[in-house]
């Protein structure tokens, strides 16, 4: 973090208002997007104090990896050991579950088998990889936990919260499980909390989907403050290099 602070001070010189720090928690795969625990900073990157020091001088953006977490997390270990409350925090289905209607961003099977402490097998929903198990947001305890994490991020200096893979958040049998109305409801709730508390924070949804679907996360002005998909960074870079903003605006 010290080197990042030096680099930003030396080279930014006021060009950018925000500094986006990619996931900095202990992780097991996916370049940080398979989080083991949300309340610790990986020692490779520094400490919470380092991040708060950056936040004292720059507006920070954090990723909230909200759809899934690492299979090595204490939460998932609790699930496999059938310990409360974690035994209800993840989504499982029978091995013969028909998920043909589910929109898939990956080619691996949707369900991954895991062995419980009692040696039984449970098939868990894994949208992105076999190392990333999806949370069950139909359980209010899961939602409450992530609301607490979001507020803790803000206390630590976050001024933009990027909701990673938010489009896949809510699962319902027989649906595509993409852009579910209750997913939009969760985004609206998080936005309402930020607005109610009058926090200087922007909510950014990451939905790597076509433009019309992407902007649906603005809602009726009551949902995310900003929307994002993977086409934006290369378009910004192209505009900076070519001095042509037309592709970025179209």
Q: What is the pLDDT tens value at each position of the chain, 250 positions in all?
A: 777 777 777 777 777 888 999 999 999 999 999 999 999 999 999 999 999 988 888 899 999 999 999 999 999 999 999 999 999 999 999 999 999 999 999 999 999 999 999 999 999 999 999 999 999 999 999 999 999 999 999 999 999 999 999 999 999 999 999 999 999 999 999 999 999 999 999 999 999 898 899 999 999 999 999 998 888 788 888 988 999 988 877 6
Q: How many CA atoms lie within 13 A of 50 on its CB side?
A: 16
* Topology given in CATH for the domain delimited by 71-134: Oligo-1,6-glucosidase; domain 2 (3.90.400)
List the chain domain ranges. Answer: 2-69+137-249, 71-134
Which residues belong to the active site?
Answer: 164
Query: What pLDDT is attached to residue 151?
Result: 98
Amino acid 211: pLDDT: 87
Q: Which CATH number fits domain 2-69+137-249: 1.10.357.10, 3.30.1360.70, 3.20.20.80, 3.90.1150.10?
A: 3.20.20.80
User: How far apart, in Å, are the Cα atoms of 143 and each of 133, 146, 168?
Assistant: 16, 5, 15
Q: What is the pTM of this model?
A: 0.92
Q: Residue 203 in contact with residue 195, Cβ under 8 Å? A: no
What is the reported pLDDT for 199?
96
| Residue 63: closest CA among 170, 143, 184, 149 | 149
Q: Assess whether the region 2-69+137-249 and the region 71-134 belong to the same CATH fold.
A: no
How buried is residue 173: exposed, middle or buried, by Cβ count under 10 Å (0-12/13-18/19+)? Answer: exposed
């Amino acid at each position: 973090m010290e080197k990042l602070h030096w680099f930003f001070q030396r080279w930014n010189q006021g060009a950018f208002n925000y500094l986006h720090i990619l996931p900095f928690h202990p992780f097991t795969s996916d370049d940080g997007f398979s989080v083991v625990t949300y309340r610790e900073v990986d020692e490779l990157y520094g400490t919470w104090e380092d991040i708060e020091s950056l936040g004292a001088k720059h507006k920070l953006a954090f990723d909230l990896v909200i759809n899934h977490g690492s299979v090595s997390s204490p939460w998932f270990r609790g699930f496999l050991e059938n310990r409360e409350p974690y035994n209800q925090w993840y989504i499982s289905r029978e091995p013969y579950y028909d998920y043909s209607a589910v929109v898939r961003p990956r080619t691996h099977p949707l369900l991954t088998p895991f062995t419980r402490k009692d040696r039984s097998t449970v098939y868990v929903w894994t949208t992105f990889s076999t190392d990333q198990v999806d949370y069950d947001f139909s359980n209010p305890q899961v939602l409450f936990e992530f609301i607490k994490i979001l507020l803790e991020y803000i206390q630590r200096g976050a001024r933009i919260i990027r909701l990673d893979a938010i489009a896949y958040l809510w699962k319902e049998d027989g649906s595509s499980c993409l852009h579910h109305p209750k997913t939009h409801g969760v985004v609206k709730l998080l936005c309402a909390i930020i607005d109610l508390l009058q926090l200087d924070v922007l909510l950014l949804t990451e939905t790597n989907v076509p433009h019309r679907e992407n902007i649906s996360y603005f809602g009726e002005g009551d949902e995310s403050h900003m929307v994002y998909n993977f086409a934006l960074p290369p378009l910004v870079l192209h505009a900076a290099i070519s001095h042509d903003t037309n592709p970025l605006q179209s």
